[in-house]
Structure 1
C-alpha cells in the first residue's frame, strides 16, 4: 500500500502531466477540497466530480499555462504539505501571475479526505483585473 506521501507525490506528478483522472483517483468520495476565499475557485467543494468541475476545469478554461510547481513535499504521516508556486496567464486580461502557495492534505485509509489551499490571492486577483 502506498503511503500518504507517495499518494500526494503521485497526485502532483499527474498534475504535471495534465492527467485529471489520475489526479482524482485517490480522492475519497466525500473529499472536502477547500480553495481560499479570494481565489477564483473559492469555497469547499465536496466529492471528486465537484473538484473537477469547480476547480480543475475552471482553472484550465480561464488560465493559459496554469500550473503549480512543487518545490517541497513534507511528510507528516496522515497529513502531507506541498509547497510551491502557482503561475499562469489569465485569458480575459492577458496578465500573468506568480504566487507562492501551500497545500495541506489529510488522508485516511489510502484516500484523500481533505485538501486546503493557502496562497496570496491578491497576486491572483491583480492578474484578473482589467
Structure 2
C-alpha cells in the first residue's frame, strides 16, 4: 500500500474499533506525539508522547474516556512519505460530560522506507481537550 492507502486503511480500522490493524501499520519504534512538548505537557492522556508500538496501545486505551459522536477524516494530502489528514471530530469526555469539538484537527503521518508509520502527531487544541477533561478550569 502507498502511505495514503495505509492512512485510509487505518482510519477505516479506527472506525471499526480494530486497533490491531492500526498497530500492524506502525514501525516497532514509532514516535507517537513526537516533537517538543514544552515544560509541562498537556494533561490529556490521549495527547501524550509515546515511543514504540506497544506504548501506542496506551493511546487507544486512553480513548475509552471519550465517546465519539463525530470523527470524519475529510481531507487527506499525500506527498511521498508524509500524509496530512484534516479531521472533524466531536467527543464527550465520559467522566465530565464535557464535549470537545475540533474542526480541521491535523494528523501528521510520517512513513519509513519499509512503508510503516515511524512518526505521528496530532495538531489539536490541547487546551480545549484539557478543559473538557476537567484538568484545567
> What TM-score do the two structures reach when normalised by structure 2?
0.83
Q: Equivalent residue for 1:98?
A: 101
Aligned runs of 1:63-82 on 2, under 5 Å? 63-65=66-68, 68-82=71-85
The alpha carbon displacement at 1:47 in A equals 1.2
Unaligned runs of 5+ in 2: none
Aligned residues: 127
The alpha carbon displacement at 1:39 in A equals 5.9
Q: Equivalent residue for 2:33?
A: 34
Q: Equivalent residue for 2:15?
A: 16
Unaligned runs of 5+ in 1: none
Greater share of residues in strand: 1
Measure, in 1, the Cα distance between the counterparts of 2:82 and 2:8: 12
Measure, in 1, the Cα distance between the counterparts of 2:102 and 2:82: 23
> What TM-score do the two structures reach when normalised by structure 1?
0.87
* Aligned CA-pair RMSD: 1.9
* Residues 33 and 114, structure 1, Cα contact 8 Å, conserved in 2: yes
